[in-house]
Every structure is written in structure tokens, then in C-alpha cells.
Amino acid sequence: MWDAFGFEFVNFYLIPGLVLGCIYALGAIGITLTFGILRFANFAHGEIMMSGAYLTYTVMAIVAGAGLSLHPLVAMVPAAFMVILLFLGTDRYFYKPFRKEDTIKVVMASFGMMLIIRSAVQVIWGPNQIAFVPGIAKPNAWLQSFTGDLGAMIIMPNKHLFIFAGTVIIVIALGYLLNRTRIGKAMRAVSDSPDLAHVTGINVDKVINATWIVGGICATAAGVFLVMDTQTLETTMGFRMLLPMFAAAILGGIGKPYGAVFGGLVIGLAEELSAYPWIGDAPLLSPGYKTGVAFAIMVIMLIVRPQGLFKGRSF
């Protein structure tokens, strides 16, 4: 039954929700790993994501100056390297001095980092919006005609297909890393119990660096996917994403990357579907309050089940 209802629901609510969910999921992976392994809520994560998007934009602009046009997904690779360096640099100079101290000091330091990074981006690139990819994204014609023939027309621009594919690839690669490689297993061990991991001879410093690298790659991808979707670069977008990403990490359980992916998808879908006219003709929730949905889910989780759906750690 693919009537007007299904067409509208899938194309204007479900798919945007999944796209947003993918972006949240990638961001939340970094947050949940940092929270699980380094044991602090990294407030600077959203800003790092945002700077990743700006760096990608700059790489594209430089290459375009040489007369070539580069796809954001390719330009993302050098940007991810810079983001990883940024992560490792902030860790080395701002977080490491507090590692032996009370965790709240690191949270505070990351809170300060959030402002430093955002102001730095505003100084370098200016506070105004920048168009990332100009023009209107046309739906993928092949997919439209193929699904149209099947009687369930799906309208999806190429950018959304790239976002889905990119997220799936990154999540599969992450699964391989965490389950099959030595460093990935060490990361899980440190996340479960740092003392026990230390006693068994795991090099905790190495694990921490690996965490920043994985988080950096995911954060860059999330930032680039976000600007691919919205097509504009804004300096406030990192801060806007922060709360839904924390909500996703808490929903999935702190320290559980798959939980974060699931949480991200749930939060993204919930935000978009909350504006669907479930009862009557008016949207269930005014679209202005979309951001509030993530917060509501987070608060409910904190009351009912602070360890998250997948039994992460709760402090």
C-alpha cells in the first residue's frame, strides 16, 4: 500500500530521519569511546566535527583553485588527518595533564576547548555561513524510476546515498577493528576495566591514541556528512549537534560503539518523526522543538535506565 501517505512518510520523514541518524551515530561513536576509555564527557567533540567540515571545505577550495573538482568524500581524507592531529594535540596539551586528577577537571578543560576551537574557526573562516555545495540536490533519477516501477517511489538525492554508504562502511570497518584486531580488543578491554587492562600489560597510552584516531575519523565523517546534507557551513553546527550526540551515546550505553550507532539512528528518527502529523493534520510537535526531542529522550533514559539500552557503564 504505497499511497500518498506512504510516499510522504518515507520520503519526507523516514529518509531524512535516517540521514540525520547516521550523522548522529558517527558523532556519538567518538563520544562514547572517549567517555568509555578516557572516562570523561568530551564537550569539544561537536566543535571538532565542525572543524573537520571546514577543513574539508578548505581542501576542496584549494584543489578547486588548481582547476580540479574534488568530491567531499575524497577531500575528507586529508581533513581527517588534520582532525586526528587536532585531537591528539588537544589531548597532549590540554587533557593529559589532568589524567591522574579528578575527571571533572578534564570535562572543564574540554568545555574550554569547545570555545577555543569554535572561536579559532570563527577567526580563520569568519562567523558567517558558507555555501558548501551550491545548487539544489536533484534526486537520483535511476532510483526514482526503478522504485517508481515497483510502485513505491523513493526520492533520494545522491548525497543521501553517499551518506548511507559512508556510514555503513565506517561502521563495518569499526566492527572489524574492535572485534578482530589487537588494538581494538585492547580498546574494549580498557573500556571495560582500565585497571585490569593495565595489569594484563595493555599499553593504555597507545589505546588512548587509538581512541582519538578512531574518534577523529568518525567525527570528520559526521561533520562532512552533515554539511553534505545541509549544504551550508556554520560555526554553530557543532554545538547544535552536541546534545543529540550525547543523547545517542547515553541511549546506547556509554562505551558501546554499536549502542551509539543504534542510539544515533533512534534519536535522528525520533527528531524527524516528531514533526509528522500522527494525530490530525498538524505536526505532532512544532518543528521548532525538534532539538528538544533528543533532550527529552536523554532525560528519560537518565531517570529510567542510566546505563543505556545496551548495558554500558553508568557512573
Pick from 70, 73, 82, 107: which binds another protein (CB under 8 A)? 107
123 contributes a contact to another protein by CB under 8 A: yes
Amino acid letter for position 284: L
Closer to another protein by Cβ: residue 37 or 224: 37
Amino acid letter for position 274: S
289 contributes a contact to another protein by CB under 8 A: yes
Specify burial of residue 216 (Cβ count, 10 A radius: 0-12, 13-18, 19+): buried
214 contributes a contact to another protein by CB under 8 A: no
108 contributes a contact to another protein by CB under 8 A: yes
126 contributes a contact to another protein by CB under 8 A: yes
Pick from 99, 105, 185, 305: which binds another protein (CB under 8 A)? 105
Cα 197 from Cα 288, distance rounded (Å): 46
Per-residue x/- marks for another protein, 162-201, CB under 8 A?
A: ----------------------------------------
Closer to another protein by Cβ: residue 7 or 94: 94
Specify burial of residue 280 (Cβ count, 10 A radius: 0-12, 13-18, 19+): exposed
Per-residue x/- marks for another protein, 28-57, CB under 8 A?
A: -------x----xx-x--------------
What DSSP state is assigned to residue 288?
G
Pick from 122, 129, 179, 181: which binds another protein (CB under 8 A)? 122
Contact window for another protein (CB under 8 A) among 15-23, 121-129, 191-199, 275-283: 121-129
Pick from 6, 89, 112, 277: which binds another protein (CB under 8 A)? 112
Question: Which residue stretches of 181-309 are H helix?
Answer: 182-192, 194-199, 204-230, 237-252, 257-273, 290-304
How many helices (H) and strands (E) the chain has is answered by 13, 2
Rounded alpha-carbon distances, angstroms, from residue 238 to 51, 151, 161, 195: 8, 39, 23, 33
Packing angle, helices 158-180 and 182-192, rounded to 10: 80
Closest CA to 274 of 16, 1, 29, 5: 16
Footprint of another protein on this chain (CB under 8 A)? 35, 40-41, 43, 94, 97-98, 103-105, 107-109, 111-113, 115-116, 118-120, 122-123, 126-127, 239, 242-243, 246-247, 250, 286, 288-289, 291-292, 295, 298-299, 302-303, 306, 314-315
